[in-house]
Every structure is written in C-alpha cells, then in structure tokens.
A and B are shown apart, each in its own frame.
Chain A
Amino acid sequence: MAPIPEKNSDWSSLFRANGSIPGWMQYGTYVLWALLFVGWWALFRPAVMPSFGDIIGSFEPLVKRHNLIGNWLSTVGLSLEAMAWSCLIATIISYLAVIPLFRPIAYAISKMRYMSFVGFAFLFMVALREPALIRVSLLIYGIVPFLVTSMTAIILSRDQMMFRYARTLNLSEARVVWHVLVRGVASDMLEAIRQNLAIAFVMIVTVEAKIRQGGGLGMLLYDVETRRADYAEVFAIQILIFATAIGFDVLIMLANRWLFPYAFLQRERSA
C-alpha cells in the first residue's frame, strides 16, 4: 500500500489561498526567497549599497578598532535588563486590568504607545542622572505600553466559560485566577513578549545613540553613519542587531515550546 502523504505536496498547493503544504516544501520557499534576494542584491543593488564582500570584510575593523564585541555585549545586557523590567511591570499592570477599578490605568498606559520618548529624554536625565538608569528607564517607557496592550488583550479576552467551569469545580477565587488567568494564558503571554521584542530592538538603537555613556551597538551605528558614512559597516552592525534579535526570538519560542507544550498542541490542532 502506498504511504499516505501527511499533507498535500502537490505544487499547485503553493499557490492556493490558505494552502497546506509539507514542512520541507515550506522551508524550500524560505530558501527560494532568500536566494532571489541574494541574487537581486548581487546583480541589481543600487550603487550606494555595499556588496556582500564589503559587508563581511567590514566586521574585522569593527571588531579590532571599534570594540564591536564589547558594544554588542552592552546592547545584549541592556536589552535583557530592560525587557525583564518591562515584562514584570507590564504583567502587573495587565493583571490589575482584571479589576474594574484599575482597568483605566492599563488602558491609559496602553495608549501611551502613541507617545514617543524623544523629547522626554531630558526629563529622564534630570530626574535620574545615572546614565545606565536613564537608558533602562527610557526603554521601559517605550516597551511597557506595547506589552500592556498585548497582555491586557490576552487576559481580558479569556472566555467567560472558563471562569464558570473553574467555579463549578469549587475552586477558590485565587485558584480560579491561577488556573484560568495565569497558567491558562502563560504561553500566550510569552508569545506576546516574543512579538514585542522587536519594539525593544528598534528602540534600543535610538536610546544608545541618545545616551552614549555605556556604549552599545546603537551608539556605534550612529557614529559609523554620521561620522564615517561607511555603509558596509552600517550594514554589518544592522545585520548583527538583526541576528541578535532573531536569536532572542528563537530562544523565547523554544522556551515557550519547552515550558508549555500543551499550548502548541492546541495551536497545531486548530491549524
């Protein structure tokens, strides 16, 4: 008997709306688009853009003369610290939103994602003085509203039926919250953190460029762009930031899969 294909490996599925294709075929599409991009870059890139060789070659002077590794470590440390504090603060605010009295605070902070910290940096400097503290605080100011928006949406969209179900088991209110709102959404919360990690990396460059004490890739990028206008180095730093962020992204996804396997079973089933 011929083996039953797991998913439709027919080529026409590649072009069908919401088509389902096997994993090898899906990975193949990534490789295809990557090759097309590399080909376009090699053959048709605008003159202002550096070649791959120039970009790779620029890593050596960046490491030797501009302390790329030290700056990278500084950026990683700052992003980890800011994300840890932001997650803690956003989680507290989001869970407070369950109580109607505190809900306006969560909504107000959520709306603050429309307010850039540019312009407020001076206030932070005056209030905090310590450069490291100013950097972390600015990042928290920038990240928390995005995290609160995602986390509050997850918590408040929890099905009312799950609360009723938990209460039919005569669980205390604390245990209802624990099972329905904490353990029940933990995987979604981690996923929200993963998705909002991008905001942290977009902001970190701006913050490091603005508050230069302590170095970092943002400061280095600003210097390379404005003082030397070396676009091979700019691209090299951008690629390093991109790779670091993707690394974090993958690590959080793997941690989520390891910590909450049931959530992925649910998603795979509903897919």
Chain B
Amino acid sequence: MSYQRTDTLLLRVNDLVFGYEPGKPVLYNLDWEIRDLIHPDQVTGQIVCLLGSSGSGKSTLLNLLAGHLRPRYGTVEVMGHASKQLTTTLKGEVGVVYQNYALFEHLTVYQNLVLGARQGAVQRDWKEPLRSWFSRKAREASPFHQAAVAMAREFGLEQQLSQYPAQLSGGQRQRVAIAQQLLFQRQILILDEPFSGLDHLAKMRAIQAIQTAAHLSESNTLIIITHDIEAAVRVGDTICLLGPNEGEDPGASIRLTVDLAAKGLSSKVHHDDPALVASVVKEVEAFFESLAG
C-alpha cells in the first residue's frame, strides 16, 4: 500500500514555550508539524500518537492545542489558521476526548450525540431544537438526528441511545465521547490517554474504535496522547515522542518522530506482523531509555 505525505499542514506548533511558574518552562522551543497523509485508493484518516512519560507535559500540550491555555511564546496553527503570536487557537477548533471520557451526565447518549452534531453545524437554526422537542416527525427528519443515529450505528451504540452516561461501561462511554466529537465535524481530534487502565481486550476494542473514527473520513486526524508504546505502534501512522530537552535547555519538546506508515505499519493496515511491531516498540523504548539515562 502506498501512502503519501502531502504539503497540506494540519497542525504546526512553532517555537512554543509554556510554563506554569516563571522560569520553569514545561515545554520549551517546541516545534511540531503534522502533515496530511493520503492513500490514493482509500478513504483514510490519520492517527498520530504523542508519547511521553508521566509529567513530560503531554496534558499541557493538549490544553495548548485545544486553546485552553495560552502559550507564553510561539504559535499554534490549526488547519492553516494561524493563531496570533502569544494567543490561543480558536476554542472548538480542536476536539478533545478527555481521559475520563467527559460527557454531559444529564443528557442521554442520544442527546449528547445530537448536541455534538448541532454544535458542528455551519448554519444554526434556532427553531430546530424546539421543533425536534415538540414533534417526533420533525426530530426524525432533522439532519442532526440522522447524523447522531448513523454515528451510533457506526460505533455499535444503537442499544445505548436512550441511556445516560452513568449507565454505560467504560468502553461504551469512550465510544460515545469519540462519536460526539466526530459529529462536530472537526478535522483534529485529540484523545487523552485512551488506553489508560484498560485490560488487553478493552485496549484492542479502544484501538478498533479509534481506527473506525479515523477512517470515517479522509480529513479526520486523531492525535492520541499516551504513554503506552505498544498500543501507539499498533494504532498510529506516526509516533512523536515528547521528552526532556538536550543539554542545558529546560522543559520538553518533540524529540523523536517515527513514520510508521513508511515502515509499513499504518493505522489502516491490521498490524499482523508481530515481529515488525515488536521491533518498532523496541526502537521507541530504546530512545525512551536513552532520554531517561
């Protein structure tokens, strides 16, 4: 299978500096680019895994990309929209699935999904929610209803539509959170530690859900923040490693980029070559250890 990196920039982080306390930067001189990855014959999204040990600044970078924190210095460009120097990206431009799969607990799965679809609509019709509230016919004709039901079907959640998030298992909750963000129709979706605390079977299901999400649309790009090297190798097209800067430089930056697609390990391909997976895992682990050493 041939994959091509295009010149289209999905995300560019330029010379980013951020710290919570003066003189103690968590991220320092961080440069990072994600370019579009296409396959001429298939609909493929892209999965980029950001690896880093605990406390390396992964969550801080997530909040900077999502626009919840402002960089002290540097810029973040999302889909070619450059944020002004020292400003945040536009809120809502990047979707986030948080580690505990945040959802509105007072809304059912269906209502959570419809909310995601409505928020993603280019043109808002303020009467539509009212019509949907009063008339079942209007609700079923609504494009948001149709999108929500289709997405639920895609993620195997049809039986859970009338349930509240508190009634779901961890895996179901994760799928609802991903589906809700995808319904927003953004091109970049960040998943914070989606494999944390999962057993092997649950991890495989999570990998499957992430791959489903990525490949629903050509333009979907998922950034997976994790410290699970093996899962990252199994699910990703690219692995980026966030680690402490060399020499006297404080903070962390992107220290290693592994193009898995170029190595024949792409998210679109079922990773059935355990030897190849193991060798890449070993390579990344060795680099990790060298950073720690």
Contact = CB atoms under 8 A, between A and B. Distances in A.
A and B interact: yes
Interface of A: 161-162, 164-171, 179, 183-184, 186, 260-263, 265-266, 269
Contacts of B104: 166, 179, 183-184
A269 B180 CA distance: 23
A170 B106 contact: no
Contacts of A164: 63, 66, 68, 96, 98
A168 B95 contact: yes
A165 B165 CA distance: 15
Contacts of B98: 161, 164-165
Interface of A is mostly: helix
B167 interface: yes
B102 interface: yes
A168 B91 contact: yes
Nearest to B167: A265
Query: Which residue of A166, A169, A171 has the most chain B CB atoms within 10 A of its CB atom?
Result: A169
B105 A262 contact: yes
B173 to A, nearest CB: 11
B164 A165 contact: no
B106 A168 contact: no
Contact of A170 (B63, B119, B180): B119
B181 interface: yes
B57 interface: no
B105 A184 contact: yes
A186 B105 CA distance: 11
A183 B92 contact: no
Closest 10 CB pairs of A and B: A170-B92, A265-B166, A165-B102, A262-B164, A266-B166, A183-B106, A168-B96, A169-B119, A167-B91, A164-B68
Given A164-B63, A168-B181, A169-B115, A266 B105 contact: yes
Contacts of A168: 66, 91-92, 94-96, 181
Given A165-B96, A168-B94, A260-B106, 11 more contacts: A161-B100, A169-B184, A170-B91, A170-B92, A171-B119, A183-B106, A262-B164, A263-B106, A265-B164, A266-B105, A266-B166
A176 B41 CA distance: 42
User: Most chain-A CB neighbours within 10 Å: which of B68, B104, B164?
Assistant: B104
Given A161-B98, A171-B119, A262 B166 contact: yes
Contacts of B100: 161
A260 B105 CA distance: 10
A117 to B, nearest CB: 37
A183 to B, nearest CB: 5
B106 A184 contact: yes
A179 B112 CA distance: 11
B116 interface: yes
A263 B105 contact: yes
A269 B92 CA distance: 31
29 contacts: A161-B98, A161-B102, A164-B63, A164-B96, A166-B104, A167-B67, A168-B92, A168-B94, A168-B96, A168-B181, A169-B180, A169-B184, A170-B91, A170-B92, A170-B119, A170-B184, A179-B106, A183-B104, A184-B104, A186-B106, A260-B106, A261-B164, A262-B165, A262-B166, A265-B164, A265-B166, A266-B105, A266-B166, A269-B166
